[in-house]
Chains A and B, each alone.
Chain A
Amino acid sequence: MSELAAQLREWREAIGARLPPWWSRGLAATAIFIGIVLPFFFSQNSGFMNATIIAVAFAVMSLGLNVVVGFAGLLDLGYVAFYALGAYALGWFGSSFFFQAHVHVGVSGVAATEIGVHLNFVLILIAAAAICAIAGMLIGLPTLRLRGDYIAIVTLAFGEIIDRVAVNGQSVHVGGGMTLTAGNLGISAVDSPSFPGIGQFNLLDLRPWYWLILAILFVVLFVNLRLRDSRLGRAWVALREDEVAAVSMGIPSVRTKLSAYAIGAMFGGMSGAFLGTYYTEVNAGQFQFGFSIFILAMVIIGGLGSIWGAVVGGLLLGYINNYLIPDVLNDLPSKLGLNFSTTTIEYGIFGFLLVLVMVLRPQGLIPERRRRMEMTAEIAAEDAQLVESTVP
């Protein structure tokens, strides 16, 4: 086994040595180009396009959670709260839900004449990011003195609180007969984005939606990459590695942790606002605990702390959840003469994938550079000997 691994490593290094120094940049540029032209190879409203749009939105959330869990090491089990808040920002500021109000900013067409608050999607995106950043810091505050598992418990509770507020918000009156949320009835007939030159987005042509979420992904990716290689990104990793040493080296623990919570929450909120308008409805039933774990699984399968890993993890689970299971494999059991559909066992499939990755590639599909160095150098040198010495 170890000989095989060593051989593989040798080959990989040999290939790595022959590639020109710009190959990783070239690879990224190619991926971006393919990403942009992808819709031209599929019909305007194919199921695959639909799955791709949702998968990219998941990748944005995965990138957000990766900042909190991967970079700063704060295990957040309530990330669905930011999906919810982002979606509600869309529901509040982009529909007729607050029917007593008449606010129209930067909207055209039907939205400009309807009652309620109607803001341009870019403004809603900013509002969602701002609301989530504040909420992220609020949830961050009580966890500042906690470590590890205890942070997980507090954030989990926060996710549940937001879920309950979403469900019961229809009984919370905010004046004028209006309520905070529409609970399980959902805020429906939300505005679809509309931009000058492109017009109103509609579900018959999915391409504009795709490019919109792709643009959001690129912005989030850019911010992530810049932060990783900055003073702030290093401070996050230092706090994750050893908080006592980090504060002794001059890193303000409170401000640095809160900034990680805020940034991570912002991305979740942006993705949530997009999914709100894309699903044309903001329903309290969407924000359940399982979704927090689903996003966490994306981050872990991709490689904790790895930006490209978070993207790949998000896309992978997004495709499996929205394309592979419902469209491709759904009738497989019935073809085999079994009386169930694949969607009913989707959580089992995700659990199995998670176990598979943890056993075969614990560092994730695309491990973080540092973690890769640790894994290859240290484990190869020391632990391999240990393992071998224990095996008779």
Chain B
Amino acid sequence: MSVGASAQAAPAGWAGPAPAMAVDHVTKEFGGLVAVDDVSLRVPSRAIVSLIGPNGAGKTTLFNMLTGLYKPTAGRILLGERDISRARPDRITGMGVARTFQNIRLFGAMTALENVLIGRHARMRAGLFGSIFRPPWIAREERDARERARELLTYVGLAPGAVDQLSTQLSYGDQRRVEIARALASDPTMLLLDEPTAGMNPQESAQLTAFMRKLRDDLGLTILLIEHDMRVVMGVSEHVWVLDHGEKIAEGSAAAVRENPRVIEAYLGKQD
């Protein structure tokens, strides 16, 4: 099974030369339940792509495989040239894949700043002895990390007064911002956003959409998002995949996917 084989199914012009990430015939079974069934995707570098589908379609399961939380039952996941299908989640983060969660998962007992410092973990070196004896280079590393965390929090638009507040005390929108800053702190090349606009009003969604483009243009990120808000999907994504019952049922440009009868059927049910 080569990556090329999966690319054949893609429309002409989409099989770009260097995918940032390639999912190659990946299947995930839980007991008898097939959550993701033989799905292949290619995520081009510096693209913004969306994964949509009805509830229970296997989108988050796929995300969890891409970030190493689940291991695929079959198939491979390639990051650049590297096979990461069996890699540990913390290693995958170290290789430059960062994510956010559908239900925001900030560390409640930590401040916004400390949450972002956790995101920086993979890029810091202080070990046990370094932490205890704190030689000058460790002290500098810590100082730089704090500075960078503050910069990131400003970048995502958190008010300076909120930086040292506990994450649980922040507003919902600010929590989303901190979560993105925390993901960015690991200097990723690829950002996976799981329903980033859930619970946001149309204005906030539009802001976030603009912010995603800014992220891609400023930082050269590849962004893969799971999204339910069609306005966001249509507005931001260059390519859309549709999953239903664990299978990929359609892909293409946002406009093409919207017209696809199988997609309409999956979302709205079959017309008699």
> Among A230, A244, A253, A377, which residue has its beta carbon within 8 angstroms of that of B126?
A230
- Chain A interface mostly: helix
Give complex CA distance A371, B108 in Å: 10
In the assembled complex, which residues on chain A have CB atoms less than 8 Å from the CB atom of B98? 249
Contact call B99/A248, Cβ cutoff below 8 A? yes
Contact call B117/A234, Cβ cutoff below 8 A? yes
With most chain B CB atoms within 10 A of its CB, the pick from A250, A253, A377, A378 is: A250
Kindly specify which of A23-31, A76-84, A235-243 makes contact with the partner chain: A235-243
> Among B94, B109, B169, which residue has its beta carbon within 8 angstroms of that of A371?
B109
Contact call B121/A226, Cβ cutoff below 8 A? no
List residues 229-272 of chain A with CB under 8 A from any CB of chain B: 230-235, 237-238, 240-242, 244-253, 259, 263
In the assembled complex, which residues on chain B have CB atoms less than 8 Å from the CB atom of A250? 90, 93-94, 119, 121-122, 186
Nearest chain A CB to B125's CB is how many angstroms away?
8
List residues 5-55 of chain B with CB under 8 A from any CB of chain A: none
In the assembled complex, which residues on chain A have CB atoms less than 8 Å from the CB atom of B142? 230-231
List residues 360-374 of chain A with CB under 8 A from any CB of chain B: 370-371, 373-374
Nearest chain B CB to A380's CB is how many angstroms away?
11
Give complex CA distance A235, B119 in Å: 10
In the assembled complex, which residues on chain B have CB atoms less than 8 Å from the CB atom of A378? 166, 168-169
A223 within 8 A of B: yes
Give chain A's interface residue range (CB within 8 Å of chain B): 20 to 34
With most chain B CB atoms within 10 A of its CB, the pick from A234, A249, A371, A373 is: A249
Write the chain B residue with the least CB distance to A227. Answer: B131
Contact call A374/B105, Cβ cutoff below 8 A? no
Nearest chain A CB to B166's CB is how many angstroms away?
5
Nearest chain A CB to B183's CB is how many angstroms away?
8
List residues 107-141 of chain B with CB under 8 A from any CB of chain A: 107-111, 114, 117-119, 121-122, 124, 126-128, 130-134
Contact call B131/A226, Cβ cutoff below 8 A? yes
Write the chain B residue with the least CB distance to A370. Answer: B109
B82 within 8 A of A: no
In the assembled complex, which residues on chain B have CB atoms less than 8 Å from the CB atom of A242? 105, 107
In the assembled complex, which residues on chain A have CB atoms less than 8 Å from the CB atom of B105? 242, 244-245
| In the complex with contacts A223-B132, A226-B132, A249-B119, A238-B107 CB distance below 8 A | yes
Give complex CA distance A226, B94 in Å: 25
In the assembled complex, which residues on chain A have CB atoms less than 8 Å from the CB atom of B93? 248-250
Residue interface mask B138-162, A partner, CB < 8 A = 1? 0000100000000000000000000
> Among A241, A259, A370, A377, which residue has its beta carbon within 8 angstroms of that of B128?
A259
| In the complex with contacts A231-B142, A235-B118, A252-B90, A241-B107 CB distance below 8 A | yes
In the assembled complex, which residues on chain A have CB atoms less than 8 Å from the CB atom of B107? 237-238, 241-242, 245-246
| In the complex with contacts A237-B109, A249-B118, A377-B182 CB distance below 8 A | no
Give chain B's interface residue range (CB within 8 Å of chain A): 35 or more
Nearest chain B CB to A50's CB is how many angstroms away?
32
Nearest chain A CB to B83's CB is how many angstroms away?
19
Give complex CA distance A378, B133 in Å: 36
| In the complex with contacts A232-B128, A378-B168, A249-B186 CB distance below 8 A | yes
| In the complex with contacts A223-B132, A232-B131, A238-B110 CB distance below 8 A | yes
In the assembled complex, which residues on chain A have CB atoms less than 8 Å from the CB atom of B101? 245, 248
Contact call B110/A370, Cβ cutoff below 8 A? yes
Contact call A234/B166, Cβ cutoff below 8 A? no
In the assembled complex, which residues on chain A have CB atoms less than 8 Å from the CB atom of B99? 248
Write the chain A residue with the least CB distance to B145. Answer: A231
Nearest chain A CB to B217's CB is how many angstroms away?
25
Nearest chain B CB to A66's CB is how many angstroms away?
15
B69 within 8 A of A: yes
In the assembled complex, which residues on chain A have CB atoms less than 8 Å from the CB atom of B186? 249-250
B231 within 8 A of A: no
B214 within 8 A of A: no
In the assembled complex, which residues on chain A have CB atoms less than 8 Å from the CB atom of B90? 247-253
List residues 212-233 of chain A with CB under 8 A from any CB of chain B: 222-223, 226-227, 230-233
Nearest chain B CB to A358's CB is how many angstroms away?
19
Give complex CA distance A378, B108 in Å: 11
B residues engaging A (CB < 8 A)?
A: 67, 69, 88-90, 93-94, 98-99, 101, 105-111, 114, 117-119, 121-122, 124, 126-128, 130-134, 142, 166, 168-169, 182-183, 186
The 3 closest A-B pairs by CB, nearest first: A250-B122, A230-B131, A250-B93
Could you list 9 examples of A-B contacts with CB < 8 Å? A230-B131, A230-B132, A231-B117, A245-B105, A249-B98, A249-B182, A250-B90, A370-B111, A373-B166
Instruction: Beyond the given A230-B130, A370-B110, A371-B109, please list 10 additional residue pairs across the A-B interface where CB-CB is below 8 A.
Output: A227-B132, A232-B128, A235-B118, A238-B121, A240-B109, A246-B107, A246-B118, A249-B90, A249-B183, A250-B90
